[in-house]
Amino acid sequence: MLSISLALALSSHKLQDRILIDPLLIAMASEVWDVAANDDQSLWPGWDSSETPILFYLTNEQDVLINHPDPPDGFQKLSGVPRLPFENVFVRNGETIFSMDGQNTTRQVNGVETLVVSDTLSQRRQWAQGLVGAAKVGFDGLDDMVKDGVRPDPYGMMGMIAHEAFHAYQATQAPGKGGNEMSLLKYPALSAENNVGYALEAEFLREALLAEDAKEFRAAALSWMAVRTGRRKELPKECAAYEDGIEFSEGLAKSMEYRLLDVLEGRQANDRMYWAQGFHGYDSLSREKEQLIEQADGFMSGKNTVNNDLYGAAPVRFRLYYSGMLAAALIDKMVEEFGADSQWKSEVFEPESTLTGIAMDLLGAERGELAERYQEIQAGSRYKELFAAKTALASDGKTHINEMVEKITSGPATLVIDATEWAGKPIGLAMTPFGIMRIDDDRRFYRQIPFRAIMGAFQVVASSARPVLHDNVKRHYILDLTGGVSEQLLDKHLGKDWRDGSVALEELPLPGASLKGGLATITLKGDVLTVKVHFEQG
């Protein structure tokens, strides 16, 4: 009879030799590696994806690590699974490196930049949670969300793998190059002129990429550049630089999705791929390429939403993924159409190089020619039609934002974190650029994830993803609490001395938030609790 410890060890060993993640993800990664990790480097010159390890994970069930030179503790080499397309496959069951669903990214794993892909179930679970959230707020596009989330897309998944893997290559070629996310605090997300310009850029980029005549192609490319240069004249310089930075970091990686379709077209797929629902081989991928262009048009024009957000930074940031993708595809077509001897795929990693600048050089248009074309476009009926729609969007957005300000300052209870003593001092904020909503130059909301601020030993943590108003002039962080605050509650956790001056905050649980650490002066006036956080040397 086996001992209990030996039986458990054998059971664990058997489980370690099982793949719990969707095995088709491994097959799809292998298809990408076939064109990104070979001698001809057809996906991108100089990029060998075989140098990038892959981590597939099913949240808190299994990590599968491929081609990693030094797996973390607990990983065992997989055995007993035949005909895997990769040789070095390591598995660890139980708690996973990533505890959140749907994280497709690149991260350092044991000191090595690694491609991270969430399992199919993990991605669908995140989609389902988003669907529930959209239903609660009455989102109009629920039918499209259901359709897009239910139908598998093997080509999109392979594109996502190429996209995220390319980030690891970018990190080696141009570390630190990208957009300054704080520029979103100044970005005019509701500017009618800017939003009209972006929608027109999408239309001209689409026209250029689908043009079959060289003359039509150059005319559309010229119109795109005319709109881009004209639109950006009205943007703050830091915002134009932000666009260039995100188009490099995210747009160029997004272009790998488009480029992958070009490279795969006409190739012979591995037989295992035909087990993927929706896969039809690589004989013709024109429809998939057109779908990417359609998505770009939808996000750049504002017809598609991001995080159910019409008025904040999410649509501003995400549309740069697509404008960068289309700009890179346009540059490739320029090189082909104009017969240019371009080294742009190495030049783009230079610190001052931008996709806009590279395209401008290849186009060879004069500034006067671009200005004249932009004036013609502005005088046209399409510009006027879009301007009316974007003006209405701006009006609706301002109304929505004013209602948010009113709600957060007149709720059943309000918490004000006063950081005036921390002017010029480092403050740690947990927030996402996708959650920024600009009110004006001095005020903005942080949304989408639970807010947290750290000032020395002090920290405040919100219990849920509720909007927080940041007034940069008053240096206040304002959030609504989920219930009232009484003097009795403060007495219970702080003692009665809190009324007399500064008090040491060990821990103060509030309805919807918690405070702890540091010194603060606390005042309660009606429904408003103000916590002035003191700066302490050292």
User: How many C-beta neighbours within 10 Å does residue 400 have?
Assistant: 14
φ/ψ bin of 467: left (φ > 0), alpha (ψ from -120 to 50), beta (otherwise): beta
Each residue's pLDDT tens digit, 376-389: 999 999 999 999 99
On whether the CB atoms of residues 505 and 468 are closer than 8 A, the answer is no
**Alpha-carbon radius of gyration of the chain:** 26
Separation of alpha carbons 410 and 481, rounded Å: 11
More confident residue, 27 or 13: 27
Residue-level pLDDT at 198 = 97
Separation of alpha carbons 259 and 423, rounded Å: 47
Each residue's pLDDT tens digit, 140-158: 666 766 666 667 899 999 9
Grade residue 1 by pLDDT with cuts at 50, 70 and 90.
very low
User: Does residue 411 surpass a pLDDT of 90?
Assistant: no
Residue-level pLDDT at 314 = 95
Q: What are phi and psi of 460, to 5 degrees?
A: -120, 135
User: Does residue 12 surpass a pLDDT of 70?
Assistant: no
On whether the CB atoms of residues 110 and 90 are closer than 8 A, the answer is no
Torsion of CA 227, 232, 234, 239, to 10 degrees: 150
Strand partners, 437: 445
Residues 497-501 have a mean pLDDT of 90
Residue-level pLDDT at 501 = 87
Grade residue 532 by pLDDT with cuts at 50, 70 and 90.
very high
Distance (Å) of CA 366 to CA 29, 225, 378, 389: 44, 11, 19, 31
* Residue in the structure block whose two tokens are 């108003």: 469
Average of per-residue pLDDT values in the chain:
91
Poorest-pLDDT segment among 150-159, 197-206, 455-464, 489-498 = 150-159
- As given in the structure block, the two tokens for residue 180 are 């300054």
- As given in the structure block, the two tokens for residue 427 are 């403050």
Each residue's pLDDT tens digit, 177-217: 999 999 999 999 999 999 999 999 999 999 999 999 999 99
Grade residue 3 by pLDDT with cuts at 50, 70 and 90.
very low
Residue-level pLDDT at 81 = 66
> 295: exposed, middle or buried (C-beta count within 10 Å: 0-12, 13-18, 19+)?
middle
The Cα diameter of the chain in Å comes to: 89
* b (16+ CB within 10 A) / e for 516-538: ebbbbbbebeeebbbbbbbbeee
User: Does residue 503 surpass a pLDDT of 90?
Assistant: yes
Separation of alpha carbons 534 and 521, rounded Å: 8
Those residues with Cβ within 8 angstroms of residue 164's Cβ, 6 or more apart along the chain or in another chain: 104, 105, 106, 115, 116, 117, 253
Sheet holding 519-525: strands in order across? 436-440, 443-446, 468-471, 476-480, 414-418, 528-533, 519-525, 502-504
Separation of alpha carbons 477 and 314, rounded Å: 21
More confident residue, 489 or 15: 489
Distance (Å) of CA 148 to CA 125, 279, 417: 14, 16, 41
Separation of alpha carbons 429 and 452, rounded Å: 6
pTM of the model: 0.89
Residue-level pLDDT at 410 = 82
Residue-level pLDDT at 13 = 44
Those residues with Cβ within 8 angstroms of residue 80's Cβ, 6 or more apart along the chain or in another chain: 17
Each residue's pLDDT tens digit, 87-129: 889 999 999 999 888 889 999 999 999 999 999 888 888 777 7
Distance (Å) of CA 164 to CA 20, 49, 62, 102, 269: 22, 11, 20, 13, 22
Residue-level pLDDT at 78 = 86
Residue-level pLDDT at 57 = 94
Task: Give the start-to-end residue ranges of the domains of the chain.
Answer: 4-138, 181-394, 411-533
Residue-level pLDDT at 42 = 80
Strand partners, 528: 414, 525
Of 450, 502, 507, residue with least CA distance to 479: 450
Each residue's pLDDT tens digit, 293-352: 999 999 999 998 888 899 999 999 999 999 999 999 999 999 999 887 789 999 999 999
Percentage of the chain modeled with pLDDT above 90? 78
- As given in the structure block, the two tokens for residue 201 are 């850029």
Distance (Å) of CA 38 to CA 55, 162, 163, 206: 21, 14, 17, 31
Q: DSSP label at 435?
A: G
* CB-side neighbour CA atoms (13 Å) of 119: 21
User: Does residue 249 surpass a pLDDT of 80?
Assistant: yes
